[in-house]
Amino acid sequence: MIAKNVEKGQEGKTMRDWKRKFATVLTLRDPGVVAVISRLRRVAAVDNGIAIVEMALSSAVLFAMFFGVFEISLASYTSHYVADAAREGARFAIVRGSTSCANTPNLSNCKASTDTIAAYVKGLTYPGINSANLTVNVSYLTGTADTSSGSLLTTWATCSSGTCNVPGNMVNVNVTYAFGLSVPFVPRKTINVSSTSQMVVQQ
């Protein structure tokens, strides 16, 4: 009986010791825990190399923005080029219709075909433009005049037979450029920038 009481007393003492140690750890009074926390505080207080890490992270975002602005600027430049190329192709075509050889004997490429007009547009030299990414489609439209309403209205239909580049018909020049948009951290995309110019053939 006495032995059992002694065992119970020892178990109670052991339990009290564990509780006391646990309470010491929880209140951060244990020497080992205090030493670890002190060491962690010293490590956290040292900022050697932190500027390099901050520069690397901020530079990634900053340069991504810079390259994004450059790419959007190039896309805008390409859009202006495509619009100008379409207008230049239409101007080239309207003075080189079916009667241009007779009206202007010294005119180069008179009575120009659709292939000749497309080659002229592709031959326009613009810095930074790759003519291999350029697609030019040239077509002609035949006009039908309607005065039944009291005013002149013209209905245009695609010319598919006969001589289409006669004066009075309309030339339609469509230029498309495949622009490769490349921005950091964004999947590369190809944007088709397109423009169309229409003018009436003069000769």
pLDDT per position as a tens digit, 95-152? 999 999 999 989 999 999 999 999 999 999 889 899 999 999 999 999 888 777 777 7
Sole residue written with tokens 């192709």: 89
pLDDT for the residue 12: 58
Please tell me the total count of domains within the chain.
2
Residue 66 lies in a domain: no
Q: For the chain, give the percent of residues with pLDDT over 70.
A: 77
Instruction: Verify that 7 and 85 share a domain, yes or no.
Output: no
pLDDT of residue 4 exceeding 50, the answer is: no
Whole-prediction pTM: 0.69
Question: Which residue segment(s) compose the domain that 40 sits in?
Answer: 2-45
Do 25 and 105 lie in one domain? The reply is no
pLDDT at position 49 over 50: yes
What are the CA-CA distances from residue 147 to residues 156, 157, 158 (Å)?
A: 15, 17, 21
How confident is the model over 70-95, as a mean pLDDT? 95
Please compute the mean of the pLDDT values over residues 178-189 and round it to a whole number: 88
Measured distance CA(136)–CA(178) in Å, rounded: 12
Distance CA 67, CA 81 (A): 21
